[in-house]
Structure 1
Amino acid sequence: MTAPSISADTVRRLPKAVLHDHLDGALRPATLVELAGQAGHALPTTDPRALADWYCEAANSGDLVRYIATFEHTLAVLQNREGLLRTAEEYVLDLAEDGVVYGEVRYAPELMVKGGLTLPEVVETVQEGLAAGMAKAAAAGTPVRVGTLLCGMRMFDRSREIAGLAVAFRDAGVVGFDIAGAEDGFPAADHLPAFEYLRRESVPFTIHAGEAHGLPSIHQALQVCGAQRIGHGVRITEDIADGKLGRLASWVRDRRVALEMCPTSNLQTGAASSIAGHPITELKDLGFRVTLNTDNRLVSGTTMTREMSLLVEEAGWTVRDLRTVTVNAVKSAFLPFDERTALIRDVILPGYEAAL
């Protein structure tokens, strides 16, 4: 029996949660054009529609290094207070328009200090912009809560310093930490001092792993560094054969380690071959705590509504499947337990019940 189709409008209205989304990969094309003009930064094109197409073309190259290189242009406009404030505020409003009720946005403060801002000033400015966006979204009747993850970069040596920022701002909207950047050749364990410090300070963290590098990267992130979640993690399937789980895959499933999966982005970087065959469906069916995410809205040309719709159309997902990954995301959010429970009970479940 085929699953009943789900209308695009139904998908759009479903309450959503996103855990893996990069601020510097989520600018509106028109905003990027305007801010680049003010900064004197040359873009591939100054036509917003053509610029969006350029990003998608570059992202669809199947090369993670080229995918990451597109951030040169977005980062160029995030070096001053105006750019950070506007981007953060618009980011929240775009989440609200997408039906997101809870989101976690991540960025690397160390990449945003070329204009003279200090690291604390970068964080303070982004938080100010996010707060402004949340206030406007609430006033418009589409409330959304957004927490921040601060990223250290794998290829640099400031991760301990950025971890200190996460601790300093944990009562001001920063909910956790991440290590980002090129995965292959830059092991997470190089940043053990940051992770050990965060554990001592009881600050949760996730680690990009299992995207450009395989099982050893996931194992190191979990068993050496102590990550509570895994960014992407698609290559955990290399430890699964005919539905039988190996030791690492069993650990991930049994300990309910959330996998922050990003189907469109994974196709673009070559970590997956199709939406229909993306590991998220197999892992969901095997009982893993998979979550659905956008990764980079501008760079991947996507939204949560689009990611959900693709899985419905190409992988046969149902409303119940979408509810599962949404509940998974809230359960794994870097929020206090009672707040997660209330969000699931009062917002997520009623929103899906209306669509069933």
Structure 2
Amino acid sequence: MKLTGREKSSLIFEGIVTVVLLILLNLAIITIAQDIVESNPGITSGIFMIKQSLRIGPMQAQIWSYQRIIIAFLIIIDIWVVWWRLRRRYHLYQMNHIIGELHYIAQGHLDHRIPFKLKGNEQHVITSVNALVDSAVQSMDDERKIEKSKDELITNVSHDLRTPLTSIIGYLGLIEDKQYRSEDDILKYTHTAYEKAKQMKNLVEDLFEYTKVQQHGAPVNIMKIDLNQLLEQLTASFELEAQHRGIEITSHVEPDPLMLEADPEKLGRVFSNLVSNAFKYGNGASYIKIDARQRGTKVVVKVSNDGTPIPAESIDHLFERFYRAEASRSRATGGTGLGLAIVKSIVDLHHGTVKAESNEQQTSFIVTLPLKQHK
């Protein structure tokens, strides 16, 4: 830290004033001491005897003089006092510089940090201030991201609800205005409105599930479950749809039984979403395989299909809410864009990880979970 010219002048002036005052004080002390010695014969006699006894060498040189001792002692005290006052003043200037930097930051220059390095407690103050500003800036950035995230959520939900709602109102309006030629037209319009209403219901349910698992401290009903049993029930529930689509769905677990601690309802939702995702987006798939294996203290579950591969540029964005790998926001697949975001949130609640891999041969979603949940 560099002192300003004014501060340097003040420091020099402080040193000069201190030295002058100390000289005057020293003269007063020496004068008083001499008066005391000269006015007291006993002290004078005692000093003389001490001086006589402290002669050394062949010349019997005197090495002791009470005036010299007093002067030496006062010089030592003077040096300490001057050093202490100048150091105290210098520390005051350091604190003034720190306060000035704080005022500058408080004026809105949040990208600024106190740049100089000091020693002792002042450096602790600087480090703490810089860390506090970093923390405040990080909190503000996080808050902005949360606000932006909320705005995006509202925008996406509004868009996704408005599209099917417009279709429902349109087709029901045709029926209301009797703009149909036959009963078949009425059935066609009502069926379309019904499908759009189901689509809206799915979006609302997915949105509710997503917000529920995103809440801080979301409840997780942890219990010991048999993963083989859970996956067998899951494949059975999708068997009819798989047959209808000409897809073979299978599950394999090693060892059997494979016991782990998890929330069965939420974990079932994870693998149900992954299988549904394979049905919706794995165009041309001939199989969906669920393979679970124990790896030490973890369980690795892979949900794979041989359908259309996912573009490489989309892999890192799959678990973002409302993200779809298709270029358009078409509802041909019936997806809400929340399924994989829900998967990631539930896996995070279980202290696990999820990732996707895709190539021309196979697309896989790999979920890794701990066997035991730390409470």
TM-score of the pair, normalised by structure 2: 0.20
Q: Which has the larger radius of gyration?
A: 2
By relative contact order (CA 8 Å, sep 6+), the higher-ranking structure is 1
More helix by share: 2
TM-score of the pair, normalised by structure 1: 0.21
